[in-house]
């Protein structure tokens, strides 16, 4: 959880969210930690797998509740990945809200990047 709090504080420092939004996100993280064992779906994650046109691989895995809170507060994903502007955030938001699991989005960009978004 410390890493997530550092990310939230960085967003405040960069002026992307205000202190009230940061407080809401940190509280959501704390609630997630407290209820993690109680919730059957509390351990779901959002995975973003990227293979660049040059063959470089990036795999990111974040707690779904954290992603949901960041998207609600900022309207953006809590990460910056080349080609991520191709991701349909409305589609992703709907998948998170409706607790859909599996491969949600698959993108092949003009520059040869491959992006896959999975909820598990």
> Which residues, in sequence order, are CB contacts of 107 under 8 Å at separation 6+?
83, 86, 87, 113, 114, 115, 116
Q: Dump pLDDT digits (tens) for 13-28.
A: 888 888 888 888 888 7
* Integer CA distances (angstroms), 6 to 9, 13, 32, 58, 83, in order: 5, 10, 16, 21, 25
Interval 53-63 mean pLDDT: 87
The band of 38, judged by pLDDT with boundaries at 50, 70 and 90, is very low
Taking only the tens place, the pLDDT of each residue in 39-52 is 444 688 989 888 88
pTM of the model: 0.57
pLDDT at residue 98 above 60? yes
Coil, strand or helix: which one is 102?
strand
pLDDT tens profile 79-97: 776 666 667 778 888 888 8
């Amino acid at each position: 959880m410390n890493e997530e709090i550092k990310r939230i504080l960085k967003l405040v420092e960069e002026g992307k969210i205000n202190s009230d939004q940061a407080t809401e996100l940190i509280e959501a993280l704390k609630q997630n930690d407290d209820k993690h064992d109680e919730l059957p779906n509390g351990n779901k994650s959002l995975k973003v797998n990227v293979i660049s046109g040059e063959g470089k691989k990036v795999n990111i895995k974040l707690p779904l509740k954290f992603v949901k809170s960041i998207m609600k507060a900022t309207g953006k994903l809590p990460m910056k990945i080349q080609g991520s502007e191709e991701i349909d955030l409305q589609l992703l938001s709907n998948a998170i809200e409706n607790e859909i699991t599996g491969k949600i989005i698959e993108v092949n960009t003009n520059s040869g990047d491959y992006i896959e978004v999975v909820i598990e």
